[in-house]
Structure 1
């Protein structure tokens, strides 16, 4: 049967489609389980192993939950806007809309051929107007609430892609897509105020069933710090600047301050003598990405501006430097340097021969500078002798009296830059009017359609700016001539709310119905790559909470449980890439073995959250396992037709019943935790036990074996859905195996009548005995001493002690 796997695949996929077996039943919403895989980007026309590993394996988990009585909602769609399609269009001349929709059509067929339970009635495609209309609506709602705003800011700019890049899209100073050197550029951009939700995004993480590593990554990315904000005046100027510090107790140790090179204040305060050096350093800094600048391994460099700040308490003059390790977009864009008590500042001060002052004395003698621990204030004028925690409060309270400081909580998280100077994305629904200023597009005029006939050849400007019919419009407020925003939205905006649209994807009046979404949400199980920890997963949580606060949904989090799949590597142990020639396509294997063999190999050959290198031998082993199952079913049917049976439930039946119930329990528990490899191992053991029972029993209990076979096929069904439907039909059962209930294990069947115990003599295992599971210690000792094999080791020797550990082992001490 298994060698005709593709034919079986098509047979049952056709049947499932005709009978609408997997159509979501809204009447059972009280039993809903929302299972969602991160949707794919249709940049290629073929599914690869990574798609299969995400979608096929998660589908097996969803099938398990269906058998356990849940009404599974498992939709599928496409994250269809974005840079790859546009770059492909530039390279080939094929319009991104044409290539994207063509790829989607191909991938839809392949996903259907996978045999997953996707309910295609709920499909969404983010580049379709009926979807991005509501993406634009969300933008407008955020704008109304002050959570979307526009400002000029330094951004990462890729000169080849001709667009802004997020910090996460810059790797070692290069664009992650084209490897061009990224520079800094000041542009007026649109931002989402994600920082408004920093505290809740942080606080609610511990309530989520997410991988601890992912939660830690988000915590570090949000980066909460408690401290003080202190104001410094500039000598001979009306200008001031603020610094944030977690150690205000070290304020008297400040010997210089450092501004970010791109801080607007730098150009105002730099003296003519240092102007050339400062400008040269600023240009050099533009070529560094922010992640590298903040890295602890990055050498700290800087340039003196020629100006001085005034210490807020002592009045001393403090030199103002610029340094690339300070960012204009992080904190206040300025830091106070305390080289005596900060390793980074110490290195900088040593390099540039700046003063180093001790203001904290440690509690023990090992407090060489730089000393970063707790202690007592010294060299701090009127605050000497205070414990460092007391010192923090006293110094900040003193600064408050002078309006030069206050307690504050700071976050590393920065607002989300959503403007993109590219074509293939959702247009930002904003109009600029000389008379009215910034005017949001009225809701009734949505969607702002993305025009098809656009010259998207990159030249550093938004392609939409070259489309006169698009850009020229009338102001909806005053009716005068006006211009449209020509930037498009970051594609992460599209994917930040798609899980909300799936359950109500045909709603033309609103993005989703609140009452219905409150029943369908949140997503119960979300599966996708760990690379999205600090982008998609964080952005989706922000958008969700903003919509909740605006009254559109009632639940707090989008994804209550999260699983990250590992990575299937090439046979050479490296990540798959066309350049390395190690890419594995699933198509040939599916053609040869069928989708179920391929699916089960992905589950058995790898620990799901880890992945590993591809190995052809593994899939061949699974194919042999399928053949073995098929022969077992044929043997059972042969025995059934022979009709010879017994009614008793003897030792052989009890042993098989133990194996069956142990498998039901183990597979249910392990598969629920995405431990599919151990689940399949247990099923293999059960098949061995059934074969052993058939070959060893003098007469078969056909009624018991019939029950066992039906339960086994039901257990197998989530892992091999097409194959199991075929087996179920062959057993003469009514369609479908997926309308059955997951079998419950009998705890009593897991208590064996007899157990096997190892017998040790002076610590070495010398034999094994079988005893009644309820036997007492004296009976066990007697049986051990009477065992013929054991006797051979103890005859003629003195038995000093016999130790019986019930249910585990017997140890005989002899001399």
Structure 2
């Protein structure tokens, strides 16, 4: 290798250090009273800094946004492109349990490794805007948002049946539970999980269900993601109907989208968790029902709701009365009915619902048609449920009506009889917001006795720093067998930081490890000032109660659950805009300038969790006047998955993980970046192939470096100030036009192909204008920033190349003076002819006949017809 050859190992660190020291890609907030530059805010979904570091799939989306950022900067935009760390969560806590090392220490090491790896790839961010969800200065405002949700009645406590993993010592969301042949297991570690009732903080996201649906129509998001959110929210209109339980005072309420089929309800089903199940069940059936309910706890909601699964259930022995005809119908318990959807009970109409039909067939229950199927023989036994429209039958005064009219009439009749009403239901459930972990945001909540809560309520707002954040309706719970009322930590005392603990091991009782921090948990609270002092002091393993400081003080306990990892990721994009503000979540003037990300790039797997939760918080903050924008993310793009070389998803267990550090060591960061973008459309799933990067390597070394620089690393002798030939000028301006448009569309693979075409034309040219060479480097720079910065400097330009104005194409250079014609004999292609556009037809025919591959085919033959299609074809018909 010549010393002047391109050597990424020395050149790439040079430019990475330059960008960092120069703060080349800082996006400053506008100065007061100054005319602000046009802004562009491009956002990546920030990573969880795991100990494993990056694999080759991570840089895909990051490279795309980095490239777009570099182009936008050259186009004159003030670009905000920050990076941060979603650093709370279970994996780090599990590592702390195994090693005894503090999670904060482990997190700091992991972040340092991630930052080193990102820099090696040439990814540049505004370092002054970095956020870390575990930084108390950041989660102060996560806690503040929770206080606002609490204050506005959107946070409450409820004992709920939840997935609990004894081994991990925490609650898991449904999405974190896997169905396996051995039963439900945790996604992390594959440990057994079980349903367990636990006291949980819950956020009332259902209050925003309609707004969340309505807002989707104005978002530039993939249609598939919009549909996923709509289906997840699952808005449906219908009716709530009350069925009196036979022999009992209680009623069984159901929600149905098909009240028109009420006469066809021949049995009912309740979920195994339904609160009335025990009352409905007769003694002779109790043992079997309880055994079935216990078995259902070991199945996930996804498994229970699976359409194709075998139908199971147990008759409770109880009956309900159909309110429209007085029919006495049996009540069953079955796991396909979920307590988390509707009311946890259904009326079953097997003639017109596929699942009910299969259940009725399995257990020999009555199937009564109430909607006529014109294509079926009414005398034959039903072989499947009929779900179409038709006239009602066997339905009293509804007979003869169509489905829509029957729905309206029966709903009105139910309301008149006060046994039902029109209703809207959602699949969306309120957001389970508690985790029994140490490594999470502490809730800014303290619990008081009802008597002390009344004392606090009796104080005027001016007298107390506490009661101005109390909700309209008190939030109460039973804690350790005693009633307690929740209050928030005063805003001026935020953040409430995590205490040091001796062990991060779960308690085994369902409580967080924080419960063991007795001095932090148990405090005396001044009801006027909000000041706290330790109430229990632990010395030499003994717990000692301190004396009450005075009459204004009350005994309080801190909440020991922590927030889920989703909390910090719900609003991080806002803090990037104003990361150092100690007084407020975001300055309104700064939010007015940046507004919301113009482009958000991340994985489709976050469609109904992070993206839905973030929209909920953003809408809420808008409603209370904190934000002017209604939606957090205007445009969303999902990058595809990079598979291993075996075509499978990368994982340690498969041994197919590709480490980007090794690729950079062997080929350089620019080659890796270009190859990642050249593999295929950004949104597509595609396999990595290390051998394929060789072609990109040759392109950078041979077509870029060696064409523009000589053996001494100086400008090549072919570079000059003379005007380019027509073909070279056309190739450059075609490339400027296409690459600019492709970058905007994130179509980087086609942009790279066009730049390769242009480079080939440059190689053919005897001379190349300096300005053309520099324009080409600018086009390539967003994807291959190191090599282009180096050549840019060697061509006499001051760094950074990103500061130079983006090239603009000249439409007049795209006009071609010649046209290429296909020459055929008897319709078969024999050659090509390139002629000037104004060449006369006789001259074109003469030239076509004289082509080397055409003339021999005409010898000894007679031309009977000459066909010329201007600008396209010459066809000579011979015999």
What is the TM-score normalised by the length of structure 2?
0.88
The structural deviation recorded for 1:644 is 10
Within 5 Å, give how 1:411-426 maps onto structure 2: 411-426=426-441
Change beyond 3 A, Cα 1:474–1:808: farther
Please give the alpha-carbon distance, in whole angstroms, between the structure 2 residues aligned to 1:781 and 1:392. Answer: 76
Please give the alpha-carbon distance, in whole angstroms, between the structure 2 residues aligned to 1:327 and 1:495. Answer: 29
Counterpart of 2:162 in structure 1 is 155
Change beyond 3 A, Cα 1:485–1:778: farther
Please give the alpha-carbon distance, in whole angstroms, between the structure 2 residues aligned to 1:155 and 1:298. Answer: 23
Please give the alpha-carbon distance, in whole angstroms, between the structure 1 residues aligned to 2:377 and 2:770. Answer: 76
The one of 820, 823, 838 equivalent to 1:756 is: 820
Please give the alpha-carbon distance, in whole angstroms, between the structure 2 residues aligned to 1:597 and 1:642. Answer: 26
Deviations 1:80-106 (A, max 9, x none): 110000001111221211111121122
Please give the alpha-carbon distance, in whole angstroms, between the structure 1 residues aligned to 2:729 and 2:717. Answer: 23
Within 5 Å, give how 1:691-730 maps onto structure 2: 691-694=763-766, 700=767, 705-730=769-794
The one of 8, 12, 19 equivalent to 1:16 is: 19
Change beyond 3 A, Cα 1:575–1:137: same
Does structure 1 residue 132 correspond to structure 2 residue 197? no
Please give the alpha-carbon distance, in whole angstroms, between the structure 2 residues aligned to 1:643 and 1:188. Answer: 76
Q: Check whether the contact 2:45–2:602 (CA below 8 A) recurs between aligned residues.
A: yes
Q: Check whether the contact 2:260–2:407 (CA below 8 A) recurs between aligned residues.
A: yes
Aligned residue for 2:487, secondary structure, equals strand
Does structure 1 residue 35 correspond to structure 2 residue 46? no
The one of 795, 811, 815 equivalent to 1:731 is: 795
Deviations 1:14-40 (A, max 9, x none): 222332222213237541111111111
Q: Check whether the contact 2:68–2:743 (CA below 8 A) recurs between aligned residues.
A: yes
Counterpart of 1:697 in structure 2 is none
Counterpart of 1:632 in structure 2 is 707
The structural deviation recorded for 1:671 is 2.2
The structural deviation recorded for 1:354 is 0.3
Change beyond 3 A, Cα 1:777–1:236: farther
Q: Check whether the contact 1:195–1:414 (CA below 8 A) recurs between aligned residues.
A: yes
Does structure 1 residue 195 correspond to structure 2 residue 209? no
The structural deviation recorded for 1:169 is 0.9
Q: Check whether the contact 1:3–1:594 (CA below 8 A) recurs between aligned residues.
A: no
The structural deviation recorded for 1:241 is 2.3
Q: Check whether the contact 2:73–2:802 (CA below 8 A) recurs between aligned residues.
A: yes
Counterpart of 2:640 in structure 1 is 566
Counterpart of 2:830 in structure 1 is 766
Does structure 1 residue 282 correspond to structure 2 residue 293? yes
The structural deviation recorded for 1:520 is 1.2
Within 5 Å, give how 1:211-610 maps onto structure 2: 211-365=222-376, 369-434=384-449, 435=451, 436=453, 437-458=485-506, 459=508, 460-475=510-525, 477=527, 479-610=553-684
Q: Check whether the contact 2:157–2:200 (CA below 8 A) recurs between aligned residues.
A: yes
Please give the alpha-carbon distance, in whole angstroms, between the structure 2 residues aligned to 1:366 and 1:525. Answer: 57
Q: Check whether the contact 1:360–1:374 (CA below 8 A) recurs between aligned residues.
A: yes
Please give the alpha-carbon distance, in whole angstroms, between the structure 2 residues aligned to 1:644 and 1:420. Answer: 64
Does structure 1 residue 666 correspond to structure 2 residue 729? no
Please give the alpha-carbon distance, in whole angstroms, between the structure 2 residues aligned to 1:175 and 1:182. Answer: 6
Counterpart of 2:540 in structure 1 is none
Q: RMSD in angstroms over aligned alpha carbons?
A: 2.3
Does structure 1 residue 182 correspond to structure 2 residue 178? no
Q: Which moved more, 1:360-369 or 1:342-351?
A: 360-369
The structural deviation recorded for 1:601 is 1.8
Please give the alpha-carbon distance, in whole angstroms, between the structure 2 residues aligned to 1:457 and 1:350. Answer: 50
Q: Check whether the contact 2:340–2:429 (CA below 8 A) recurs between aligned residues.
A: yes
Which ranges of structure 2 fall in alignment gaps of 5 or more residues? 454-484, 528-551
Does structure 1 residue 92 correspond to structure 2 residue 167? no
Aligned residue for 2:7, secondary structure, equals helix
Please give the alpha-carbon distance, in whole angstroms, between the structure 2 residues aligned to 1:226 and 1:685. Answer: 57
Please give the alpha-carbon distance, in whole angstroms, between the structure 1 residues aligned to 2:89 and 2:720. Answer: 65
The structural deviation recorded for 1:814 is 5.3
The structural deviation recorded for 1:207 is 2.1
Deviations 1:378-400 (A, max 9, x none): 11111111111111111111111
The structural deviation recorded for 1:154 is 1.1
Counterpart of 2:56 in structure 1 is 49
Which ranges of structure 1 fall in alignment gaps of 5 or more residues? 695-699
Aligned residue for 1:326, secondary structure, equals coil
Change beyond 3 A, Cα 1:500–1:482: same
Please give the alpha-carbon distance, in whole angstroms, between the structure 1 residues aligned to 2:347 and 2:143. Answer: 42
Deviations 1:362-412 (A, max 9, x none): 344489541111111011111111111111111111111111222222211
The structural deviation recorded for 1:533 is 1.0
Q: Check whether the contact 1:2–1:626 (CA below 8 A) recurs between aligned residues.
A: no
The one of 102, 107, 117 equivalent to 2:114 is: 107
Counterpart of 1:70 in structure 2 is 77
The structural deviation recorded for 1:799 is 3.5
Within 5 Å, give how 1:779-794 maps onto structure 2: 784=848, 789-790=853-854, 792-793=856-857
The structural deviation recorded for 1:801 is 6.8
Q: Which moved more, 1:362-371 or 1:481-490?
A: 362-371
What is the TM-score normalised by the length of structure 1?
0.94
The structural deviation recorded for 1:655 is 0.8
Larger proportion of helix: 1
The structural deviation recorded for 1:549 is 0.5
Deviations 1:433-469 (A, max 9, x none): 1122221222122111111224221223211111101
The structural deviation recorded for 1:767 is 2.1
Q: Check whether the contact 2:165–2:186 (CA below 8 A) recurs between aligned residues.
A: yes
Q: Check whether the contact 1:2–1:593 (CA below 8 A) recurs between aligned residues.
A: no
Q: Check whether the contact 1:29–1:520 (CA below 8 A) recurs between aligned residues.
A: no
Q: Check whether the contact 2:710–2:717 (CA below 8 A) recurs between aligned residues.
A: no
Q: Check whether the contact 1:341–1:358 (CA below 8 A) recurs between aligned residues.
A: yes
Please give the alpha-carbon distance, in whole angstroms, between the structure 2 residues aligned to 1:461 and 1:644. Answer: 72
Aligned residue for 2:161, secondary structure, equals strand
Counterpart of 2:696 in structure 1 is 622
Please give the alpha-carbon distance, in whole angstroms, between the structure 2 residues aligned to 1:788 and 1:141. Answer: 83
The structural deviation recorded for 1:742 is 1.5
Please give the alpha-carbon distance, in whole angstroms, between the structure 2 residues aligned to 1:219 and 1:752. Answer: 50
Please give the alpha-carbon distance, in whole angstroms, between the structure 2 residues aligned to 1:161 and 1:395. Answer: 50
Counterpart of 2:548 in structure 1 is none
Change beyond 3 A, Cα 1:811–1:169: farther
Q: Check whether the contact 1:3–1:592 (CA below 8 A) recurs between aligned residues.
A: no
Q: Check whether the contact 1:124–1:505 (CA below 8 A) recurs between aligned residues.
A: yes
Change beyond 3 A, Cα 1:352–1:123: same
Please give the alpha-carbon distance, in whole angstroms, between the structure 2 residues aligned to 1:333 and 1:277. Answer: 20
Change beyond 3 A, Cα 1:45–1:388: closer
Aligned residue for 1:50, secondary structure, equals coil
Does structure 1 residue 802 correspond to structure 2 residue 867? yes
Deviations 1:579-626 (A, max 9, x none): 222221111222233322222221123432224222221222222212
Does structure 1 residue 5 correspond to structure 2 residue 8? yes
Q: Which moved more, 1:125-134 or 1:363-372?
A: 363-372
Deviations 1:252-295 (A, max 9, x none): 11001111110111112211111111100110000111112112
The structural deviation recorded for 1:736 is 1.9
Aligned residue for 1:482, secondary structure, equals strand
Change beyond 3 A, Cα 1:512–1:366: farther
Q: Check whether the contact 2:709–2:715 (CA below 8 A) recurs between aligned residues.
A: no
